[in-house]
Structure 1
Amino acid sequence: MSCFNSFGMTIRVFTLLALLFAFPLFADSLVVASRGGVYNDTLKKTIITPFYTETDIYISLRSHNDRLLSERELTIDHDWDVIEMPETLAITACEGGVIRILEVSNVLKPIGDFSAEQDFAPRTIRKCSVAHQYVTTLIAFDEQAFGDRPPKRIDDFFNVTDFPGKRGLEKKPDTLLEWALLAQGVPTQQVYPLLSTERGIDLALKKLDDIYQHIVWWQDAREARELLLSGEVTMSSGYDSELAPLVKHLPFSTINDGKLRVPFVWAISSQSVRIQNAKKFITYATLPIPMSKLAKSRFAHPTRYTAIKTENKNNRQFRTSTEGTRILIQDSDWFVATKSIRQEKFKKWLKEKLLTFNDGG
C-alpha cells in the first residue's frame, strides 16, 4: 500500500470517528441564550452543569443584552433553543409567533399535593413562557453620607432637604413613575391603575421635578455602582445583583421600601428544532432547588412558592415579601400596553426640563 493510500485511509478513519462522536452531541444538545457576564457563570454553576449531569444533554450557553433585546432581534436567524428574557418581551414575542406556545402540563413538574399552577406566583405562567425569578430594582445609599439618620422609605429618595446629595437614576421611565407615586402616598395596589391614565403619569413626572437638578443619569447597570463608589451620588437606583456586592462588603445599604420586582422568564424559540430537550431544560430549571440556588446566587427572588420555602430553610436573610415594606411586582401587561405613551411623556418631560434648566429656570 502506498503512503498516499495509507494517508487517505487515516483521514477517512478520523472523519468517521469525528462523525460518530459529533452525532450524539448534536442529537442530545441544546443552546440556551441568557444575560451574559457573571450571570451566565452563575447559571452554568447552578443549573446548566447539574442539568447536564442528570440528563447528558450538552448545553451551549449564549449571551444577549436583556435591556437591548427586542422582538426583532429574536426573529433574526440564530441557533438559540431556550431564551431567558423579561416577561414584557415574552408577551409581545408570543403574540408575534417568535416563541413557541408552552404546554404547561407537560413542562412544569408539580410538587407534592400542589399543581404547578398553584405553586407559582399569579400571572407568572403564560401561554408561551414561565417566569422563574424576579429581578429587583431598588435604592442603595452611602451610609457615611447620612450618619445615624439613614433614609428608610422611597419618599426619602425624593427629599433632598433632609437627605441631601445627588441621585443616580437609570435614564428611562420604568420604575421612576412607580416610585414617584409611592412617594406621594399612593397605595401599591393603586399604582398601576393610576399610571394607566395620563393624569397618573403627569402626577408622577411632577414629583420628579423635585429632584431633577440633583439627578445623575446612568444607562449601564454597572454605572450605578460606580457612581456610589466615587461619591458622585449619595443614593442611586440599581439592580439587586449589581448592588449586592457593594452592600455586602462596603459601607452601603439599601432602602427596602419601594422595591420593584421584574419577572424574567424561560421561553422556547420558534426556530428551535430541539423542542423536547428545550422542554426538559425548562422543567429542570423551574424545579424548586435549582430555582432557589440560582436566585440566591444572584440575590434575586424565586417565583415558585416551594422554591422560596426551600431557600428560607438555609438562608434566613433571603428577601421575601414579608419584610413589612411596600413591594411592587411589575405589571407586565400594563408595561406592554403603555410603553409608547410612557416613553413619549418621559422624553417630553426631559426636553422641557433641559430647556428650563439651560434658561436658568
Structure 2
Amino acid sequence: MKLKTALMLTSGAVMAASMAHAEGHMANSMTLVSWGGAYQASQVNAYSAPYQAMHDGLEVVWDESSAEAVARLRAMNEAGNITWDLVDVVAADAMRLCDEGLAMEIDHDEMLAPAPDGTPASEDFGDLIVSDCFIPQIVYSTTFGYRTDVEAWGGNTPDDICDVFDLETFPGMRSLERRPIGNMEWALMCSGVAMEDVYDVLETEEGIAQAFAMLDSIADSTIWWSAGADTPQLLADGEVVFGSTYNGRLFSLIEEQGQPVAMMWDAQVFDLDGWIIPEGLPEDRLARVLDFVRYATDTQRLADQALYISYGPARASSAPLVGQHATLGIDMAPHMPTDPANSARTFLFNYEWWADYRDDMDARFQAWLSQ
C-alpha cells in the first residue's frame, strides 16, 4: 500500500511538472535508444519526426544500443550519470530494469493518452503491460527466413521449426542469435519436448544439457549474429540459407528489397517491445520525455508505425487503423505476426522466466559458444 501511495504521489508530481510546462521548462534535446535498422526508421517516421515538426529547435539523438540496455544502464547508475532519456527494450529486460530500480515506475492512465473513445490506457494496452515500468509499443516475433533458390534442397520447402536442425534435407549454413532466448526453446522442442513443457524442462540441468546437445548438432553450420541486420544481410548475400531474426527485418528484406527469401512462421517466438524511462532524470529532461512518450504511444502513432514495418501495435484501439504500407501500397495486416494465418503455432515467450534466469543463462550460453 505504501509503495502504491508513493507511486501515485510521484506520478502526480511528475504529471504536474509535465502539464504545467511552457516549452522553456522542458529540455531541448532527447537521447532515444533503440535497435537501429528498419525498426528504428519506423519509429523516426511515426513518432520522432512528426514530434520534432511540432517543436521547433528540438534535437533528437538516436543511440542504437538497446541490445546492451541492461548493462549500460547499470553502469550509468553506478557512475551517477544517466545520459539516456528513453530506452526501447524487450519486455524481459524492462522487468529486470524495473526490479533493479533502474527504470521509473509508470502510472499508465495518468501518463499516457486514453484511446479515442476514452478507454484508459491501461485497458487499451491490457495484458501487454507486463511491468510497472513498461510502456508497450509493439508485438513482434523472432522467426526464420530462408532462401527460396537453394538447389540442394531438391524442391523441398521448410515449414517446421525442426527443419532448422535437419541438415540432411536442408543442407547449408544457418544464422542464429548469439543469445540463449529462442535458441534454447527451439532446441528443446526439436529434441522431443512438448511446447507447453519447455520452461519446466529448461529449469533442470538435464534440460539445459539436452538443449545444448541439440544446438551442438548444427553448431558447425551456424553463424552467430548480434545485430538484427545481420541475418537479412547474410541471407541476401547467400552466406546462409536459413536464419533467425525479427519478422519486421524479414518483411523489409522480402517485400521492400525483393530478395529470394521467404518467411517460416512455425514456432515463431512472440515478444513485446516498448519504452522504459531511466530512473533519476533531471526535471527538465523528464518533462520532455513524458511529453514525447504521451504523444508517441497514442492510438494513432502506434497505428502509424505499422505503416512502415510489420509489427503489431500494442494498443487494441490501434489495430483497426492499420492500413497499407506507406510506400509499397500493400495491406500490412497479413504480414503481422498476429495474423491468424501466421500464428497457427506460435511459441509464447515467458517474460517472467527469462527475467529470473537471464543472467545465468547468458553466462552459460556464452561459455558454450566459446568451447
Shift of residue 345, structure 1, vs aligned partner? 3.5
Partner of 1:60: 60
Q: How many residues align?
A: 330
In structure 1, how many angstroms separate the alpha carbons of the residues matched to 2:51 and 2:238? 43
2:318 to 294, 302, 307: 307
* 1:28–1:56 CA contact under 8 A, matched in 2: no
Deviations 1:90-112 (A, max 9, x none): 22222232222211220233323
Superposition TM-score, scaled by structure 2 size: 0.78
Partner AA of 2:32 in structure 1: A
* 1:30–1:278 CA contact under 8 A, matched in 2: no
Partner of 1:224: 231
Shift of residue 337, structure 1, vs aligned partner? 1.0
In structure 2, how many angstroms separate the alpha carbons of the residues matched to 1:240 and 1:116? 26
Aligned residue for 1:289, secondary structure, equals helix
Shift of residue 334, structure 1, vs aligned partner? 1.1
Aligned residue for 1:221, secondary structure, equals coil
Partner of 2:15: none
Matched, 1:118 2:150: no
In structure 2, how many angstroms separate the alpha carbons of the residues matched to 1:212 and 1:28? 49
* 1:141–1:252 CA contact under 8 A, matched in 2: yes
Partner of 1:16: none
Deviations 1:301-333 (A, max 9, x none): 222222223216863323125224322343222
Shift of residue 155, structure 1, vs aligned partner? 1.3
Matches within 5 A, 1:132-281: 132-145=137-150, 146=153, 148-184=155-191, 186-248=193-255, 249-272=258-281, 273-274=283-284, 275-281=286-292
In structure 2, how many angstroms separate the alpha carbons of the residues matched to 1:30 and 1:125? 29
Larger radius of gyration: 1
Partner of 1:316: 333
Superposition TM-score, scaled by structure 1 size: 0.80
In structure 2, how many angstroms separate the alpha carbons of the residues matched to 1:232 and 1:315? 29
Partner of 1:49: 49
Shift in CA distance, 99/259, structure 1 to aligned 2, threshold 3 Å: same
Aligned residue for 2:317, secondary structure, equals helix
In structure 2, how many angstroms separate the alpha carbons of the residues matched to 1:286 and 1:125? 16
Structure 1 unpaired stretches of 5+: 1-22, 355-361
In structure 1, how many angstroms separate the alpha carbons of the residues matched to 2:76 and 2:94? 10
Shift of residue 42, structure 1, vs aligned partner? 3.1
In structure 2, how many angstroms separate the alpha carbons of the residues matched to 1:121 and 1:73? 32
Between the two proteins, what is the percent identity of the paired residues? 22
Greater CA deviation, 112-121 or 140-149?
112-121
In structure 1, how many angstroms separate the alpha carbons of the residues matched to 2:59 and 2:140? 24
Could you list the structure 1 runs, at least 4 aligned residues long, displaced by more than 6 angstroms after superposition. Answer: none
In structure 2, how many angstroms separate the alpha carbons of the residues matched to 1:192 and 1:250? 36
Partner of 2:3: none
* 1:31–1:79 CA contact under 8 A, matched in 2: no
Aligned residue for 1:265, secondary structure, equals strand
